[in-house]
Amino acid sequence: MPENANTELARSLDEATFRHLVKLAALELLAEEQVYLRGELNQQMRAIRELEAIQIDPGTPITSHGVPYTLETSPGLRQDEHQPSPEADDILAQAPEVHERYLVVPDIPHEDLE
């Protein structure tokens, strides 16, 4: 089977897959936003499908950083020492809701395991 045989994905993003992605992404979307986003995702998939036509030699490695990332050029490891943040109060001041230096959130749903 050629590497690019997964044409089913390439067709288009169906409603169920879109809903699943939106749920995973933790986004509440308006109806008109959903139409726009799904349309654009499908347009982008047409561009991404250009990748399928590229002949890739089987041994080609992946590149996760363009510039080689080596021991010589990367900074040395820092000492494993506790360094308190001097700006803890400034950081906490950015939180939408704080109580006695705890971040306040609404109910966290949970299930009791058997």
Partner 1 sequence: MTPTTADLPAHEQVRLLKAGELSALDLVNAALDRIAAVEGRAPSLDTYNLEPGDLDKIHAFITITADEARARAHQVDKLIGEGEDPGPLAGVPLAVKDIFCVQGTLSTAGSRILGNFTAPYTATPVSRLEADGAIVIGKVNLDEFTFGSSNESSAFLPAVGNPWNPAYVPGGSSGGSAAAVAAGEAALSLATDTAGSIRQPAAFCGVVGLKPTYGRVSRYGLIAFASSLDCPGPVARNVRDAALALNAMAGPDLRDATAARVAVPDFCAGLEREIRGMRIGLSSDYAKLKYPDPETGELVEQEISAEVQAAVERAAQVFAGQGAEIVPEVPMPNTRSGIPAYFVISRVEAASNLHRYDGVKYGYRTPDQVEDLPELYRRSRGQGFGPQPKLRILMGMYVSAEQYEKDYYDRALRVRTMIRRDFERAFDPEGQYRLDALLTATTPTTAFKLGAVYGDSVLMQYADLLTVAANHAGIPGLSIPAGLDSTGMPIGIQLLGPDFSEAALLQLGWAYEAATESEAWRSIKPLVLRSVAVEG
35 binds partner 1 (CB under 8 A): no
Question: How far apart are CB 15 and partner 1 at their closest, in Å?
Answer: 13
Of the residues 47, 80, 82, 112, which one makes contact with partner 1 according to CB under 8 A = 47
Least Å distance between CB 100 and partner 1?
A: 16
Full 3-state SS string of the chain = CCCCCCHHHHHCCCHHHHHHHHHHCCCCCCHHHHHHHHHHHHHHHHHHHHHHHCCCCCCCCCCCCCCCCCCCCCCCCCCCCCCCCCCHHHHHHCCCCEECCEECCCCCCCCCCC
Among 11, 14, 35, 40, binds partner 1 (CB under 8 A): 40
Is 21 an interacting residue with respect to partner 1 (CB under 8 A)? Answer: yes
Q: How far is CA 17 from CA 12, 13, 49, in A?
A: 10, 6, 18
Interaction between residue 78 and partner 1 (CB under 8 A): yes
Residues within the interface to partner 1 (CB under 8 A): 3-4, 6, 9, 13, 17-18, 21-22, 24-30, 33, 36-37, 40-41, 43-44, 46-52, 54, 56, 60-69, 72-76, 78, 87, 90-91, 93-97, 103, 105-109
